[in-house]
Structure 1
Amino acid sequence: MSPGPPLVPTRRRALDDLVGSAARLVLVTAPPGGGLSTFVRAYAEAAPATHRLLALPWEDAPGAALAGRTPAAGDVVVLEDAQHADPASVQALVSAARAADGPVVVLGWRVPGEGLFESVRSAADTVVALDRLAAQDVAALAEQRGLVLPASQVDRLLAHADGRMRHVVELLDEVPAADWTVSFFALPAPATAARAVRAALAGLTDDGRALVRAAAVLEAADRQARAVAVSEAGRVAGLDATVAAVDDAGRAGLVGVLDEHAMWIRLPDPVVRRAVLDELGPAGRAELHERAAGVVVDPAVALHHRWFAAPRPDAELADRLDELASERARQGAWASAADLLVLASRASVDAEARGARLVRGVDALVGAGEVPRASRYLTELESLRETPLRNAVLGYLAVVRGRPAEAESRLGRAWELVNPRRDADTASLIAQRYVLHHLARCRPRELVAWADRAMDLVEPSAPTAVEAAAIRGLGVAPVDGIDVALEGYRTLVGEVPEGPVAQRVTMASGWLHLAADDPDRAREELQSALTTDFLGGSRRISLWAHGWLARAQFQTGDWDDAMRTATAGLEMAQRSGMSLLVPLLAWTRTQVLALRGDWEAAEQSLRVGDAAGRDYELMRVPAALARAAYCEARADYVSVVRALAPLTQPWAREWVEQPGYWPWPDVYANALVLVGREDDADAFLARHEERAADAGHVSATARLAYARGRWQGVRGDLDAARQSFQRAIALLEPLPLRYDRARVHFAFGQTLRRAGRRAEADAVISTARDIYLALGAATYVARCDRELAAGGVNAARSQREFDDLTPQEEAVAGLVAQGRSNKEVAAELFLSVKTVQYHLTRIYAKLGVRSRAELAARRP
Structure 2
Amino acid sequence: MRGRRDECEELDRLVAAARLGGRGVLVLRGAPGIGKSALLEYVASAAGDCRTLHVAGIESQMELAFSGLHELCEPLLSLLDRLPEPQEEALSTAFGLREGTPPDQFLVGLALSTLLSNSAGESPVVCIVDDAQWLDQASVRALAFLARRLTTQPIAESVAMVVAVRSGEGAGSWADLPGLRLQGLAEPDARALLESAVSGRFDARVRDRILAEAHGNPLALLELPRWFTSAELSFGPGPDSTTRSRSLTSRMEDGFRRQLALLPQQSRLLLVAAAAEPLGDVRLLWRAAGLLGINVDAARPAERAGLIELRETVRFRHPLVRSVAYRSATKSERQAAHRALAEGTDPATDPDRQAWHRASAAQGPDEVVAAQLEHSADRALAQGGLAAAAAFLERSAVLTPDAEDRVQRRLNAAQVMMHAGALDAASQLLTVTEHGPLDELQRARLDVLRAQIGLASNEGRDALPLLVNAARRLAPLDEELALDSYVDAFTAAWFAGHLATGPSAMEVALMVRDAPKPSLPRRGDDLLRALAVLFGDGYRTAAPLLRTAIKAFDTDDLSVSEAVRLLWLATVVAIDLRDGTAWDRLVVRHLRIVRDSGAVSALPLALNSRVFLALFSGDLTKAKALVHEVESATELAQIRMTPYGAIGLAAFEGRDDPTTRLLASARHDAAARGEGLGVALTDWANALLCNGQGRYAAALESAREAAAHPEEMVVRSWSLVEFVEAAVRTADPAGAAAAVGQLAEVAEASGTDWAVGILARSEAQLHDGPRGEELYREAIDRLGRTNLHVESARARLLYGEWLRRAGRRLEAREQLRRAFDAFTAMGMEAFATRARHELSATGETVRRQAMEAQELTAQELHIARLAADGLTNAEIAAELFLSPRTVEWHIRKVFTKLRVTARRQLADALRAISTSP
TM-score with structure 1 setting the length = 0.57
- After superposition, the CA RMSD in angstroms is 5.5
Aligned to 1:402: 458
Shift of 1:700: 2.5
- Following superposition of structure 1 onto structure 2, how do residues 322-333 of structure 1 map, counting pairs within 5 Å? none
User: Could you tell me whether the CA contact under 8 Å between 2:680 and 2:706 is conserved in 1?
Assistant: yes
Per-residue CA deviation, residues 795-839 of structure 1 (Å, 9 max, x unaligned), is 5699xxxxxxxxxxxxxxxxxxxxxxxxxxxxxxxxxxxxxxxxx
Establish whether residue 568 from structure 1 lines up as the match of residue 660 from structure 2: no
Question: 1:665 matched to which residue of 2?
Answer: 720
**For 1:466-497, what per-residue CA distance to the aligned partner results, in whole angstroms no more than 9, with x for missing partners?**
87677667667767656644544554676966
Q: Shift of residue 775 of structure 1? A: 0.5
Local SS of the residue matching 2:786? coil
Work out the CA distance in 2 between the residues paired with 1:588 and 1:224: 39
- Cα distance in 1 between the residues matched to 2:353 and 2:743: 55
> 1:750, 1:765 within 8 Å by CA — same for their partners in 2?
yes
Q: Distance in 1 between matches of 2:432 and 2:63?
A: 24
One of 347, 364, 375 as aligned partner of 1:294: 347
Residues 453 and 429 of structure 1, relative CA distance in 2, 3 Å threshold: farther
Q: CA deviation at 1:674?
A: 1.1
Residue number in structure 2 paired with 1:763: 814
2:678 aligned to which of 619, 622, 625: 619
Distance change (3 Å), C-alpha of 1:512 and 1:690? closer
Partner of 1:634: 693
- Read off the aligned partner of 1:341 and give its amino acid letter: L
Alignment of 1:222-233 (within 5 A): 222=65
Matches within 5 A, 1:82-97: none
Bigger shift: residues 357-366 or 479-488: 479-488
Report whether the alignment pairs 1:281 with 2:281.
Answer: no
Aligned to 2:36: 192
My pick for the range that moved more, 510-519 or 753-762, is 510-519
Secondary structure of 1:348's partner?
coil
Q: Does the alignment pair 1:643 with 2:702? A: yes
Tell me, in whole angstroms, the C-alpha distance in 2 between the residues paired with 1:403 and 1:391. 15
User: What is the CA–CA distance in structure 2 between the aligned matches of 1:795 and 1:313, rounded to whole Å?
Assistant: 81
Task: Measure how far apart 1:630 and its partner are.
Answer: 2.9
Distance verdict in 2 for CA 1:440–1:260, change over 3 Å = closer
Deviation at residue 439 of structure 1 after TM alignment: 4.2
What's the counterpart of residue 603 of structure 1? 661
Say whether the 8 Å CA contact 1:292–1:302 is kept in structure 2.
Answer: yes
CA distance change for structure 1 residues 222 and 725 in 2, over 3 Å: closer, same or farther?
same
Match of 1:555 in 2: 616
Superposition deviation, residue 770 in structure 1 = 0.4
The aligned residue for residue 735 of structure 2 is: 680
Identify if the C-alpha distance between structure 1 residues 519 and 313 changes in structure 2 by more than 3 Å, giving closer, same or farther.
farther
2:700 is paired with a residue whose SS is helix
1:214 and 1:274 map into 2 onto residues whose CA distance is 4
Residue 642 of structure 2 corresponds to residue 582 of structure 1: yes
Matches within 5 A, 1:113-124: 113-114=18-19, 117=20
Matched, 1:782 2:833: yes
Partner of 2:393: 341
- Give the match for residue 743 of structure 1: 794
Contact 1:549 1:565 in 2 (8 A): yes
Match of 1:612, SS? helix
Is the Cα contact below 8 Å between 1:625 and 1:644 reproduced in 2? yes
CA distance in 1, matches of 2:377, 2:511: 25
d(CA) in 1 for partners of 2:533, 2:761: 29
Residue aligning to 2:781: 730
Distance 2:843 2:507 in 1: 57
- Asked whether the equivalents of residues 427 and 457 of structure 1 are also in contact (C-alpha less than 8 Å), the reply is no
Mapped to 2, the partners of 1:332 and 1:451 lie a distance apart of: 35
CA contact (8 A) 2:403 2:437 kept: no
Pick the aligned partner of 2:843 from 769, 773, 792: 792
Q: Which one has more relative contact order, counting CA pairs under 8 Å at least 6 apart?
A: 2
Matches for 1:157-306 after TM superposition, within 5 Å? 164-166=26-28, 169-170=29-30, 173-174=31-32, 192-193=36-37, 196=40, 220-222=63-65, 271=131, 274=134, 281-283=275-277, 294-295=347-348
**Match of residue 810 from structure 1:** none
Distance 1:433 1:457, change over 3 A: farther
Please, which of 444, 448, 453 is the counterpart of residue 392 of structure 1?
A: 448
Kept in 1: contact 2:543–2:750 (CA 8 A): no
Contact 2:687/2:698, CA 8 A, preserved across alignment = yes
Q: Distance in 1 between matches of 2:626 and 2:426?
A: 26
Change in 2 beyond 3 A, CA 1:453/1:530: farther
Cα deviation per residue 1:582-628 (whole Å; 9 max; x = unaligned)?
Answer: 253343233244x2x26325522552355329724433332322222
Note if contact 2:594-2:606 (Cα within 8 Å) is conserved in structure 1: no
2:77 & 2:357 partners in 1: Cα distance?
13
1:7-46 correspondence runs (5 A) = none
CA distance in 2, matches of 1:784, 1:109: 48
Q: Distance in 1 between matches of 2:602 and 2:7?
A: 51
Q: Would you say the 8 A contact 2:57–2:135 is kept in 1? A: no
Distance 1:397 1:293, change over 3 A: farther
1:671 is displaced (CA, Å) by 0.7
Distance across 2 between alignment mates of 1:652 and 1:227: 50
Give the aligned partner of residue 651 of structure 2.
Answer: 591
Per the alignment, residue 362 of structure 1 pairs with: 414
Give the Cα–Cα distance (whole angstroms) in 2 for the partners of residues 258 and 311 of structure 1. Answer: 44
Question: Deviation at 1:532?
Answer: 8.0
Deviations 1:141-198 (CA, angstroms, capped at 9, x unpaired)? xxxxxxxxxxxxxxxxxxxxxxx542xx32xx45xxxxxxxxxxxxxx9862388479
Deviations 1:695-736 (A, max 9, x none): 213213222322222222xxxx23322222111101111112
Q: Distance in 2 between matches of 1:470 and 1:365?
A: 28
Q: Alignment partner for residue 805 of structure 2, among 754, 758, 770?
A: 754
Does 318-327 or 743-752 show the bigger shift?
318-327
1:559 Cα deviation (Å)? 0.7
Matching residue's letter, 1:744: A
- Indicate how the Cα distance of structure 1 residues 533 and 389 shifts in structure 2: closer, same or farther if over 3 A, else same: closer
Q: 1:190 to 1:361 in 2, by over 3 A?
A: farther
> Counterparts of 1:798-813 in structure 2 under 5 Å?
none
State the shift of 1:766 in Å. Answer: 1.2
Deviation at 1:549, TM superposition (A): 0.3
Partners of 1:111 and 1:689 in 2: how far apart?
65
Provide the C-alpha distance between the structure 1 equivalents of 2:44 and 2:634, rounded to a whole number of angstroms.
37
Q: Distance in 1 between matches of 2:341 and 2:115?
A: 22
State whether residues 444 and 654 of structure 1, in contact with CA within 8 Å, keep that contact through their aligned partners in structure 2: no
Matched position secondary structure for 1:664: helix
Change (3 A) 1:165 1:195: closer
Residue 708 of structure 1 corresponds to which residue in structure 2? 763
Are 2:651 and 2:659, in contact at CA under 8 Å, matched by a contact in 1? no
Tell me, yes or no, if the aligned pair for 1:215 and 1:267 is still in contact at 8 Å. Answer: no
CA distance in 2, matches of 1:781, 1:523: 26
Paired residue for 1:695, among 750, 764, 771?
750
1:300–1:340 Cα contact (<8 Å) kept: no
> What is the Cα deviation at residue 689 of structure 1?
1.8
Size of the aligned set, in residue pairs, is 598
Q: Under a length normalisation based on structure 2, what TM-score does the superposition of the two structures give?
A: 0.53
Look up the match of 2:591. 530
1:101-133 CA distances to partner (integer Å, 9 max, x unpaired)?
Answer: xxxxxxx6564134xx46xx8xxxxxxx876xx
